[in-house]
Structure 1
Amino acid sequence: MQTGRARTIMLQGTASDVGKSVVTTALCRVLKQDGWEVAPYKSQNMALNSYVTLDGKEIGRAQGVQAEACEIPATTDMNPILIKPMKEMNAQIVVHGKPYAQLSAQDYRRDFLPFAKQIVVDALERLRARHDVIVIEGAGSPAEINLKDRDIVNMRLAAWADAPVLLVADIDRGGVFASIVGTLELLEPEERARVKGFIINKFRGDKTLLQPGLDWLEQRTGIPVLGVLPFLPQLDIEAEDSMALVRRQDPADANRKDAALDIAVIRYPRISNFTDFDPFAAEPDVRLRYVQTAAELGEPDIVILPGTKNTLGDLEYLRSAGLDDAIAARVAAGCRLAGICGGYQMLGRKLRDPHGVESGNPDETADVAGLGYLPLETVFYPEKRTERASGEIACSHPAWARMNGIEVAGYEIHMGQTAPAHERMHRLMALIDRSGNPPAQEGAVSEDGRIWGTYLHGIFHNDRFRHTWLNHAREEKGLVLAGQPFVYRDRQQLAFDRIAEAVRQHLDMEKINEIIGIRKA
């Protein structure tokens, strides 16, 4: 249903990690189910979990997931500016899916933000021309008074879009009434007037005990509470940033301590795209852990080195934390080891940064020793590779014979080029080039077949690959092999429907539609 220039609704939060992304995703799904052509939008996103669009551009993962909830292809207009932290007070700025510059926080605020308004407004207007409703997500809090004068993602954006605002607050962390009232107090009168309703998120307990507080809040502010969303464990919605890993590390939420297979993902400081491993959490006999120290590593069956925004920095962290020796001990004991993207680069023998891409200090002669598990050498270049890729496993190693021919698809995001040190190395897969060139060999497998790496993010979302690889590990331990693999994409679609149903049950959608200016189709 196309109605002309799209209506807008904006979700802002009292703080980071209050659930804005999930509520935005749920609202997108509800509106889609109700027959509207809906799209997500976030003008500026700071995240290391990326999503690659069909045309090979990079945006924040949250907007890619929200587009999937809307059942439309993601575009860079949905997230025109992406900030990817690289090291302390320094980040790569991605504009419409391509690297723009590496800037300090001061430089970004002084030099970039003055002309960023046009970028974000133009992107929003293109979306509004193609859809009925745009669900806009803010960032952090709109009450950061030290940042408000150059804000492009909260209240100034709401004014540019003429968008009504719903304020989301997390009751699970405590202080929900103070956070709401305090946020309103720090807004200017015209900003406060844009707030049309409150959403209380992550509630555990008896709502009747909460009701007196809700009544007080409405009387105190004159703004309605549109509903109280319950705490929903195991959402199966891919997370935007590493704050989600803090929740996953909560001892009260430690899953499957007696699981048959134990997988440890190394959580270095600049971990990126950890959503690569979400499918493991859905495997009934797998325990998925994120570990930061050698002591935490324990005795896993599988260790995975994930992606990182700074391979050299996180390789140094790995060594300083003693994780390199701890991993080596586990490999010697028969543990399987895999590396994805930056983790793949670490598995090699040598890494070079002659242009200062990661270190910031160009040096034609500086080499850094990798972990040495695979005969690979990586050189970092300023040009970034971002594209979707597909192909099949095509490995000459006998241990991988059962895997050959399994189709895989995913995406690449990296600034390094990795090459084998000799021709005898076992390559992992053959990937098809979008330009129609012959399939290219990619990835690497060790001489014993137990260690491998690839640049292909999302490889574990390929159900048959994940299933067969895990069955190898199960077989080795004498475990019962899993039957047919579950379809991870189906689980994600069910998750979208689950959160949409929660919104219908617990929020006043009739009032929200009225605020947007639409009627149920």
Structure 2
Amino acid sequence: MAKSIMIQGTMSNVGKSLITAGLCRIFKQDGYKTAPFKSQNMALNSFITREGLEMGRAQVMQAEAAGVEPSVRMNPILLKPTSDTGSQVIVNGKVYGTMCAREYFAYKKQLMPEVMAAYRELEEAYEIIVIEGAGSPAEINLKQEDIVNMGMAKAAKAPVLLVGDIDRGGVFAQLAGTISLFTDEEKSYVKGTVINKFRGDRSILEPGVKMIEEITGIPVAGVAPYMQVDVEEEDSLTERFSSRKEGGPIHIAVVKLPRISNFTDFAVLEYMEEVTLSYVSAAEQLGEADMIILPGTKNTMGDLKWLRQSGMEGAILRAAERGCVIFGICGGYQMLGELLSDPEQVEEGGDLRGLGLLPMETVFVQEKTRTRVTGTFGKLTGALAGLTGMELEGYEIHMGRTKSSVSPAEEGTDGIMAYLCMQSDTDSVRKPDGCNRENVYGTYVHGVFDGEGISSALVKILAERKGISLEVAGQINRFQYKEQQYDLLADTLRRHLDMNKIYEILERGI
């Protein structure tokens, strides 16, 4: 049976996911078969496994760091917010239903058998499991029904490392305050603390480290620096939304929808030195963008209304009139059509006019499409015609069915975005996907820019339209880049965490 260690945090965004990933990498480097685990995750940036099941992106990143195939067993419950008070509940990779916060809070304990079944399967298959908590474990109004922090630690009998964020200030109060709200039993699970995101002279911090050990009676297992590592993130707390990636002369603007999802679709463009990529939430920020991307969203109709109310719709339509490349992915693709209908109340119900830039309509249905795909770009018209025939790969995850007025009678028909092979365990089905009219493009495929040579070709096309001659450096090998970043993360943590202490904690358990 696997040994386990759990990473909890004093609050959200203290770096639990990164510390978990780093430990997964260290244990892998040290020769242990390691898996990440998070019983319940809340995120809009999800992933589709080879089996066509949906899980949180953070556990995918951690599985990559551990060098193992992502599995829904690593994240048996995924909550995808559909509004400020409700979420779609996904259990073992499949939609379980949509619940308001109070309804889910009352119900979640009934999902604990599913959580433990997934965990037990990992226990039998791996040597070490690194468990991640969520938010703060000291929310006294939530502790009784907890299944993701101390509730999970007790169920798994996992020793806990408690992480605090010094960058936000008050790290000693965070750690001491959190521990003071634990019961004696819960305190017995905390075997070490970690001060994360430290900048400056470590010697100045030392008196505080000694004092917090005296106050809590728990050893500090390390002081980790503010790490500049580039790994995929999964939610709206990501810093990339608040900063503009300054790069080259090609400006690509991604509309930051209120419920934006799967923004890892654009990571390959962020890596390119020829591209300045920005996430924009106001019409005036679009400027003279060379390409505007409407990304995926968990609430297409709600975010389309925001697009309209914020003035962003008008700005996008004006950009389309001047010939700007407009590209929609998943929910963004649905918005580009003429009509969205929701007869089954999957989102907000009723009908809603789309932007009218593509000749198609979408009807929302209860059954979610979840599949990995490969394929080729169709016979594209407009600015991106040069992508015609290039091979692509990615995944689909949506609850809409879109019908285009473009006839897909044969490959090569103008207006079909791509021809895809829908992959499953039992069958492979060839089908058309997406729509293209002039310089407007839409597809359901997440990861559409990741295929070999696609982002380089895209940037060259945009440069030529701008009258710029660019020697594009070439598309980064994302696998190699990720591996470098995971190794950098592990090397940094090895230098700043007491790994002997952590191995001792792992060995002793509870």
By how many angstroms is 1:406 displaced?
1.9
- Counterpart for residue 149 of structure 1: 144
Whether the 8 Å contact between 1:54 and 1:73 is mirrored in structure 2 is: no
- Counterpart for residue 58 of structure 2: 62
Report the Cα distance in structure 1 between the residues aligned to 2:319 and 2:267, rounded to whole angstroms.
23
1:411 aligns with 2:395: yes
Q: Compare 502-511 and 36-45 and name the one that shifted more.
A: 502-511
Of residues 422, 430, 442, the one that matches 1:439 is 430
Whether the 8 Å contact between 1:463 and 1:488 is mirrored in structure 2 is: no
1:239 aligns with 2:233: yes
Report the Cα distance in structure 1 between the residues aligned to 2:30 and 2:132, rounded to whole angstroms.
20
Report the Cα distance in structure 2 between the residues aligned to 1:200 and 1:395, rounded to whole angstroms.
54
1:259 aligns with 2:243: no
Of residues 89, 100, 115, the one that matches 2:110 is 115
Report the Cα distance in structure 2 between the residues aligned to 1:21 and 1:517, rounded to whole angstroms.
22
Whether the 8 Å contact between 1:12 and 1:168 is mirrored in structure 2 is: yes
Report the Cα distance in structure 1 between the residues aligned to 2:250 and 2:262, rounded to whole angstroms.
22
Q: Which amino acid in the other structure matches residue 386 of structure 2?
A: R
1:18 aligns with 2:14: yes
By how many angstroms is 1:276 displaced?
1.1
Of residues 76, 91, 94, the one that matches 1:80 is 76
- Counterpart for residue 410 of structure 2: none
By how many angstroms is 1:401 displaced?
4.7
Whether the 8 Å contact between 2:373 and 2:420 is mirrored in structure 1 is: yes
By how many angstroms is 1:502 displaced?
0.7
Report the Cα distance in structure 2 between the residues aligned to 1:193 and 1:114, rounded to whole angstroms.
23
Of residues 31, 45, 48, the one that matches 2:27 is 31
By how many angstroms is 1:514 displaced?
1.0
1:387 aligns with 2:360: no
Q: Which amino acid in the other structure matches residue 26 of structure 1?
A: G
Report the Cα distance in structure 2 between the residues aligned to 1:459 and 1:14, rounded to whole angstroms.
37
Whether the 8 Å contact between 1:474 and 1:481 is mirrored in structure 2 is: no
By how many angstroms is 1:396 displaced?
4.6
By how many angstroms is 1:321 displaced?
0.3
Could you list the per-position Cα deviations for residues 69-92 of structure 1 after superposition, in whole angstroms to 9, with x for gaps in the alignment? 111111111000111110121111
- Counterpart for residue 240 of structure 2: 248
- Counterpart for residue 348 of structure 1: 337
- Counterpart for residue 490 of structure 1: 480
1:206 aligns with 2:201: yes
Could you list the per-position Cα deviations for residues 39-95 of structure 1 after superposition, in whole angstroms to 9, with x for gaps in the alignment? 000000011010111100001110111111111111111000111110121111000
By how many angstroms is 1:390 displaced?
0.8
- Counterpart for residue 273 of structure 1: 262
Q: Which portions of structure 1, spanning 4 or more consecutive aligned residues, are displaced by more than 4 angstroms?
A: 398-401, 435-438
Of residues 354, 358, 371, the one that matches 2:347 is 358
By how many angstroms is 1:399 displaced?
5.0
Whether the 8 Å contact between 2:244 and 2:279 is mirrored in structure 1 is: no
Whether the 8 Å contact between 2:61 and 2:232 is mirrored in structure 1 is: yes
- Counterpart for residue 513 of structure 1: 503
Report the Cα distance in structure 2 between the residues aligned to 1:259 and 1:504, rounded to whole angstroms.
35
By how many angstroms is 1:518 displaced?
8.2
- Counterpart for residue 308 of structure 1: 297
Report the Cα distance in structure 2 between the residues aligned to 1:207 and 1:196, rounded to whole angstroms.
22
Of residues 220, 242, 263, the one that matches 1:225 is 220
Secondary structure of the equivalent of 1:243? coil
Whether the 8 Å contact between 1:94 and 1:101 is mirrored in structure 2 is: yes
Could you list the per-position Cα deviations for residues 427-466 of structure 1 after superposition, in whole angstroms to 9, with x for gaps in the alignment? 12111132545521111111x2x21111111112224111
Of residues 462, 468, 487, the one that matches 1:473 is 462
Report the Cα distance in structure 2 between the residues aligned to 1:422 and 1:402, rounded to whole angstroms.
20
Report the Cα distance in structure 2 between the residues aligned to 1:101 and 1:255, rounded to whole angstroms.
37
Superposition pairs for residues 420-431 of structure 1, below 5 Å? 420-423=404-407, 426-431=415-420
Report the Cα distance in structure 1 between the residues aligned to 2:162 and 2:191, rounded to whole angstroms.
8
By how many angstroms is 1:425 displaced?
5.3
Distance 1:383 1:249, change over 3 A: closer
Q: Which blocks of at least 5 consecutive residues in structure 2 are unaligned?
A: 408-412
Report the Cα distance in structure 1 between the residues aligned to 2:175 and 2:450, rounded to whole angstroms.
39
Whether the 8 Å contact between 1:433 and 1:439 is mirrored in structure 2 is: yes
Q: Compare 270-279 and 420-429 and name the one that shifted more.
A: 420-429
Q: Which amino acid in the other structure matches residue 445 of structure 1?
A: N
Identity of aligned residues (%): 46
Whether the 8 Å contact between 2:36 and 2:74 is mirrored in structure 1 is: yes
Question: Taking structure 1 as the reference length, what is the TM-score of the superposition?
Answer: 0.93
- Counterpart for residue 295 of structure 1: 284
Whether the 8 Å contact between 1:475 and 1:481 is mirrored in structure 2 is: no
Could you list the per-position Cα deviations for residues 85-110 of structure 1 after superposition, in whole angstroms to 9, with x for gaps in the alignment? 10121111000000001111111112
Q: Compare 209-218 and 477-486 and name the one that shifted more.
A: 477-486
Secondary structure of the equivalent of 1:460? coil
Distance 1:338 1:400, change over 3 A: closer
Question: Taking structure 2 as the reference length, what is the TM-score of the superposition?
Answer: 0.95
Q: Which amino acid in the other structure matches residue 170 of structure 2?
A: G
